[in-house]
Amino acid sequence: MMVRILLIGMLWLTQISISFALEPGEHKGTRKEIMSDTQTVSEGTYRRLFLDYVCARLGKDESQVVLSRFKVWGESPLPPGKLSFRLFQKDKSRFDRQVSLTAIASVNGVARGEVQMTGWVDVFDTVLCASRSLKKGEILKEGDVILVNRNLSQLPGNPLTDPKEVLGLMVKHSIPENASLREGMLEKPPALVKGDKVTIVVERGALRLRAPGKALERGRPGEVIKVENTMNTRQIYATVLDGSTVKVDF
């Protein structure tokens, strides 16, 4: 009799422990379903979002952009629903080299989380390079430059990419062979150089006079240079009109 009472008591205690393990209204299997009722975003998805955003901002094809050292943090499980993301750059730095982005994750149109992403971005494109050593003062012609695929992230300044835009320009400083051409390395050649013969034009109302002269400085159209009137050796300042004419304004 005592043994039977003990067995009944043990069974009763076991039922109590089971009833406390489940919340009211739950049944076996419910707890597992609640725990999985979330969704997570993989690092691969964030990487794709990051790369697409950078390519769009740079106007480059994915084949021209290499993403490395990618890191993401701050991600957490999200409630179920339709996911959407909004990416932006807080620091407004360049979109190559080290780039930092913030992603706002929304579920069914409601913001649910913020994630930080960083990555090293290398951008490749064809740029103009010197096909030979170029000396200061040379005027570029066809064959002096070639297009080479280079890593823009490793090039200083703004490299030039259109051969048509540099033909006829003058080299400001010597450029080694294979060096990339950048803004500031070339300039328009002067219309006049020191010693060039010019015609000095003087206009005032209906009066128009001409006199022979000589350029004492180099200059481009629109620039004011010093010239000499060779009829009386008088030195004056005049505006360059073209490669043979200067104008004196009164």
Query: Is the pTM above the cut of 0.75?
Result: no
Q: Which of 166, 133, 135, 163 is nearest to 147 (CA)?
A: 163
- The residues, any chain, with a CB within 8 Å of residue 128's CB and separated by 6 or more, are 145, 146, 147, 159, 160, 161, 162, 163, 166, 180, 181
Please give the chain's pLDDT, 250 residues, in tens. Answer: 444 443 344 433 333 333 323 334 444 433 333 445 889 999 999 999 999 999 999 899 999 999 999 999 998 899 999 999 999 987 766 666 889 999 999 999 999 999 999 999 999 999 999 999 999 999 999 999 999 999 988 888 889 999 999 999 999 999 999 999 998 999 999 999 999 999 999 988 888 899 999 999 999 999 999 999 999 999 999 999 999 999 998 7
Distance CA 138, CA 130 (A): 12
Q: Please, what CATH class does the domain formed by 43-123 belong to? A: alpha beta
- Range 197-248 has CATH code 2.30.30.760: yes
Domains 124-187 and 197-248 in one fold: no
Tell the burial category of 146 from Cβ atoms under 10 Å away from its Cβ (0-12, 13-18, 19+): middle
User: CATH assignment of 124-187?
Assistant: 3.90.1210.10
pLDDT of residue 93: 66
pLDDT, tens digit, 9 for 90 and up, residues 55-100: 999 899 999 999 999 999 998 899 999 999 999 987 766 666 889 9
Domain locations in the chain? 43-123, 124-187, 197-248
